[in-house]
């Protein structure tokens, strides 16, 4: 028996499954063989039904939705995913992949189904200018493995302990998106186990319909087992700039300016709630890469910006420390317990022309009780043209802003349910100004609304679903297509 800090429980050895009984729709474990049971295929890994494994798979970072699966596959090889997908299809069992479980609203859960824990499929093979990565690998491992060759993927999420398959299933947005698009735009080729139970390779040149339907495709057509990711030369060092502004409009004006002229390698921004002694704070976070010997030209990089010069914070750090900059804060949130509280997150893309007014109206009466003690409000832009994958839907304007209310239901804050309700009404308001959901948050959304969300991309998405998941067994927690079996 071992203590598991994340699950905060004792783990008993998994109760291994030997087959499925279609008549009772139960997984059969150990020696308790039943007459109508169909043996599992021979696997390199195993299928387990122990309460700890199922309990973990019935939870995520949101702690808002809990669907208990019947069993969990711990694959020993990609072929296990394929074999179990075919087996589940035959028996009408629904399936979802689980990366790191950092979805916030049950997107990766499946009541009575099979969860495939992708974590064991975590190989990283670095080639000349690409890395072939197991979908269960964490972006922190990918960074470490590629940096050993002075190479790096172009775009990282703010937090590195997310799985490659998990972020490629939604998009993967970060401060480098204004130059390089989302993480899905840096993928050259995928290996995917489709809902039919076949392992297929796809790329922009080969089986394009599957490639387009899987990247940012929220697990609706297949489970990514491997991704080939493009790499760039990595900088040794970065110079990090934190610039302060007196208003939303002043912040976004400079953000637009610097993403348009591309002077920085990374651009994000954050709004912080008033404290007892200060009002709202509006900060632009930017980074310039350098090789460690020739420092960036501050005068050129900061030329013409309208920030409050006396508040500038500038520091140099290693490239990996920059990528991993959230680690210390996350460790602190784990210590205080905030990390384990419900997270009813709201994430949307706004058209630039409506951003200032929408953000100002949203934060006007916002208080700490509505976002929680450790809530985070992000706001940053990128040119729409950088996004090339059809299923990552954003407003139809040249520049788009990501706006997020990353709420935590802290002690003394509103209840998680009230926060989810607030998310829903803010979603409707954002939609009315042309906003699109980034589907990682906790916003109740109907299949009809998803259909509208996908707009012109819907027909190809639905056709791919029909073709690659004909029995509709995949990833019901996303709620995109009407429920299957």
Ligand X SMILES: Cc1cc2nc3c(=O)[nH]c(=O)nc-3n(C[C@H](O)[C@H](O)[C@H](O)COP(=O)(O)OP(=O)(O)OC[C@H]3O[C@@H](n4cnc5c(N)ncnc54)[C@H](O)[C@@H]3O)c2cc1C
Binding site for ligand X (CB under 6 A): 60-61, 96-103, 107-108, 118, 135, 157-159, 162-163, 165-167, 169-174, 218-219, 223-224, 440, 475, 477-478
Dist CA 192 CA 188 (whole Å): 13
Q: Which is nearer to ligand X, 14 or 101 (CB)?
A: 101
Minimum separation from the CB atom of position 339 to ligand X (A): 9
Q: Which residues contact 63 (CB under 8 A, 6 or more apart)?
A: 340, 341, 342, 343, 416
Minimum separation from the CB atom of position 21 to ligand X (A): 26
Q: Which residues pair with 284 in a beta bridge?
A: 243, 269
Minimum separation from the CB atom of position 364 to ligand X (A): 26
Q: Where are the alpha helices (DSSP H) in 378-457?
A: 416-432, 447-454
Q: Which is nearer to ligand X, 159 or 289 (CB)?
A: 159
Minimum separation from the CB atom of position 59 to ligand X (A): 11
Minimum separation from the CB atom of position 200 to ligand X (A): 13
Q: Which is nearer to ligand X, 99 or 197 (CB)?
A: 99
Q: Which is nearer to ligand X, 21 or 59 (CB)?
A: 59
Residue 193: Cβ within 10 Å count:
29
Minimum separation from the CB atom of position 310 to ligand X (A): 30
Nearest CA to 216 among 419, 436, 38, 66?
A: 436
Taken in order 360, 244, 395, 408, the sign of the CA dihedral is negative
* Tokens of residue 291, six digits: 């090789």
CA 407 vs CA 171, 418, 429: distances in Å: 21, 11, 18
Find the helix or strand (DSSP H, E) in which 360 lies. helix 352-363
Minimum separation from the CB atom of position 442 to ligand X (A): 11
Minimum separation from the CB atom of position 478 to ligand X (A): 5
End-to-end CA distance of the chain: 36
Number of residues that make up the chain: 485
Q: Rounded to 10 degrees, what is the CA torsion of 100, 106, 107, 111?
A: 100
Q: Which is nearer to ligand X, 94 or 263 (CB)?
A: 94
Q: Which is nearer to ligand X, 29 or 437 (CB)?
A: 437
Q: Which is nearer to ligand X, 135 or 420 (CB)?
A: 135
Q: Which is nearer to ligand X, 19 or 197 (CB)?
A: 197
The alpha carbon of residue 188 and the mean position of all alpha carbons in its chain are separated, in whole angstroms, by: 19
Nearest CA to 116 among 159, 161, 86?
A: 86
């Amino acid at each position: 028996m071992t203590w598991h800090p994340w699950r905060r429980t004792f783990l008993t050895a998994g109760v291994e499954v030997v087959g499925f009984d279609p008549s009772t729709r139960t997984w059969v474990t150990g020696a308790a063989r039943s007459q109508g049971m169909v043996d599992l295929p021979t696997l390199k890994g195993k299928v387990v039904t122990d309460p700890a494994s199922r309990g973990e798979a019935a939870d995520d970072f949101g702690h808002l939705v809990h669907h208990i699966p019947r069993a969990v596959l711990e694959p020993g090889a990609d072929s296990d995913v394929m074999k179990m997908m075919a087996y589940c299809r035959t028996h009408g069992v629904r399936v979802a992949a689980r990366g790191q479980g950092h979805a916030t609203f049950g997107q990766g859960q499946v009541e009575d189904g099979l969860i495939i824990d992708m974590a064991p499929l975590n190989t990283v093979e670095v080639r000349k200018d690409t890395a072939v990565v197991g979908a269960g690998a964490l972006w922190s491992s990918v960074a470490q493995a590629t940096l050993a060759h002075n190479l790096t993927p172009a775009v990282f999420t703010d937090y590195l302990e997310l799985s490659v398959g998990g972020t490629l299933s939604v998009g993967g947005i970060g401060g480098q998106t204004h130059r390089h698009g989302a993480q899905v735009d840096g993928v050259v080729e995928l290996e995917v186990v489709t809902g039919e139970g076949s392992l297929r390779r796809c790329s922009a040149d080969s089986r394009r319909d599957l490639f387009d339907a899987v990247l940012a495709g929220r697990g609706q057509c297949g489970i990514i087992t491997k991704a080939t990711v493009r790499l760039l030369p990595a900088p040794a060092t970065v110079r990090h700039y934190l610039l302060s502004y007196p208003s939303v409009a002043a912040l976004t004006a400079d953000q637009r300016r610097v993403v348009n002229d591309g002077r920085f390698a990374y651009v994000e921004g954050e709004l912080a709630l008033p404290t007892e002694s200060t009002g709202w704070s509006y900060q632009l976070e930017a980074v310039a890469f350098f090789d460690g010997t020739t420092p960036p030209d501050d005068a050129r990089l900061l030329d013409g910006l309208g920030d409050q010069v006396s508040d500038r914070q500038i520091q140099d750090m290693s490239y990996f420390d920059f990528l991993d900059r959230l680690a210390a804060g996350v460790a602190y949130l784990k210590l205080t317990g905030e990390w384990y509280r419900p997270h009813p997150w709201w994430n949307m893309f706004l058209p630039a022309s409506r951003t200032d007014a929408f953000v100002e109206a949203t934060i006007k009466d916002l208080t700490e009780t509505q976002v929680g003690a450790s809530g985070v409000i992000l706001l940053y832009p990128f040119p729409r043209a950088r996004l090339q994958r059809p299923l990552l839907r954003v407003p139809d304007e040249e520049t788009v802003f990501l706006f997020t209310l990353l709420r935590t239901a802290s002690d003394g804050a509103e209840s998680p349910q009230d926060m989810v309700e607030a998310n829903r009404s803010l979603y409707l308001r954002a939609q009315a100004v042309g906003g699109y959901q980034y589907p990682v948050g906790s916003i109740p959304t109907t299949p009809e609304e998803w259909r509208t969300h996908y707009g012109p991309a819907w027909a190809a998405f639905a056709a791919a679903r029909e073709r690659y998941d004909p029995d509709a067994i995949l990833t019901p927690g996303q709620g995109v297509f009407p429920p299957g079996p």
